């Protein structure tokens, strides 16, 4: 005799509310440490994998001749600072630096002071010796080009200090990149918490039914 399927005892299933609570057992704020840890790992990895860069700086100074004054020298120093990264100077510097003009254009920076007639020429390269050679080559080329017109400008450009090989890289170290990555990850996690949609309990969850009181309590 076959058993009627409708008369089989049904297994008690899990309440929907219990399943919902287990699916969301992790607190919402746990997103912050997870994002911060992921950002720190990514930043630290970037700092380790990235090729270190070294920066060397040389200085040239504008000196007025007998027929000029310090104010004129200061003005020409500003002009020479802008001309240091131009093609006319870099084209001559590549001969002594041993690198293409495109590399010089990307690695050389010139800065001036509003109070002193001095030009600082900085070069960045993956090797310390190469950074010093590039900075000295650009300073030499700038000095030669500037002194060709000293009769007209009445200002002479002299090398004040040669660039030396840097002893430490100028690029950001791995601990710093890890710290920056961790802060960025925490910030992204905080923004994600702010813009996240609010969770709502489904409407089909059964209402909580109080347990029936024991018979002994009812008799009281």
Please indicate, yes or no, whether residues 132 and 110 belong to a single structural domain of this protein.
yes
Q: Is residue 9 part of a domain?
A: no
Please indicate, yes or no, whether residues 44 and 108 belong to a single structural domain of this protein.
no
Query: Are residues 124 and 85 in contact, defined by beta-carbon separation less than 8 angstroms?
Result: no
The top-scoring range by mean pLDDT among 2-11, 162-171, 196-205 is 162-171
Element (H, E) at 112: strand 108-112
Please indicate, yes or no, whether residues 110 and 97 belong to a single structural domain of this protein.
yes
Residue bearing tokens 């607190």: 27
Q: Is residue 205 part of a domain?
A: no
Please indicate, yes or no, whether residues 144 and 74 belong to a single structural domain of this protein.
yes
Q: Is residue 167 part of a domain?
A: no
Tally of structural domains, the chain: 2
Tokens standing for 29?
């704020």
Q: Is residue 22 part of a domain?
A: no
Q: Is residue 104 part of a domain?
A: yes
Q: Is residue 75 part of a domain?
A: yes
User: What pLDDT, on the 0 to 100 scale, is given for residue 162?
Assistant: 94
pLDDT tens by residue, 135-179? 999 999 999 999 998 988 999 999 999 999 988 886 556 666 667
Q: What is the pTM of this model?
A: 0.62
User: What pLDDT, on the 0 to 100 scale, is given for residue 90?
Assistant: 93
| CATH number of residue 73's parent domain | 3.30.70.1130
- For the cut 60, the answer to whether the pLDDT of residue 6 exceeds it is no
Q: Is residue 215 part of a domain?
A: no
Q: What is the mean pLDDT of the chain?
A: 78
Q: Is residue 214 part of a domain?
A: no
Which residue would you say has higher pLDDT here, 93 or 33? 93
Please indicate, yes or no, whether residues 146 and 67 belong to a single structural domain of this protein.
yes
Which residue would you say has higher pLDDT here, 52 or 78? 78
Evaluated on CA atoms 124, 126, 129, 133, the torsion sign reads negative
What are the CA-CA distances from residue 107 to residues 19, 71, 95, 161, 185 (Å)? 60, 31, 16, 19, 31
User: Could you tell me the residue range of the domain that residue 85 belongs to?
Assistant: 54-161
- For the cut 90, the answer to whether the pLDDT of residue 93 exceeds it is yes
pLDDT tens by residue, 101-145? 999 999 999 999 989 999 999 999 999 999 999 999 999 999 999
Residue bearing tokens 């746990």: 30
Please indicate, yes or no, whether residues 156 and 59 belong to a single structural domain of this protein.
yes
């Amino acid at each position: 005799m076959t058993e009627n399927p409708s008369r089989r005892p049904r297994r008690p299933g899990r309440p929907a509310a219990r399943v919902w609570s287990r699916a969301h057992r992790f607190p919402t704020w746990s997103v912050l440490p997870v994002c911060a840890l992921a950002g720190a790992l990514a930043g630290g990895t970037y700092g380790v994998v990235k090729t270190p860069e070294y920066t060397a700086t040389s200085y040239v100074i504008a000196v007025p001749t007998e027929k000029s004054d310090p104010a004129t020298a200061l003005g020409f120093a500003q002009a020479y600072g802008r001309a240091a990264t131009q093609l006319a100077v870099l084209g001559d510097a590549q001969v002594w630096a041993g690198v293409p003009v495109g590399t010089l254009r990307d690695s050389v920076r010139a800065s001036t002071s509003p109070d002193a007639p001095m030009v600082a020429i900085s070069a960045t390269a993956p090797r310390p010796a190469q950074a010093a050679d590039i900075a000295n080559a650009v300073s030499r080329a700038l000095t030669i080009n500037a002194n060709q017109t000293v009769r007209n400008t009445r200002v002479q450009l002299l090398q004040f200090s040669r660039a030396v090989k840097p002893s430490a890289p100028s690029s950001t170290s791995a601990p710093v990149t890890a710290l920056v990555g961790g802060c960025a990850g925490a910030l992204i996690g905080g923004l994600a918490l702010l813009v996240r949609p609010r969770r709502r309990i489904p409407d089909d969850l059964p209402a909580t039914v109080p347990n029936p009181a024991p018979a002994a309590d009812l008799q009281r």
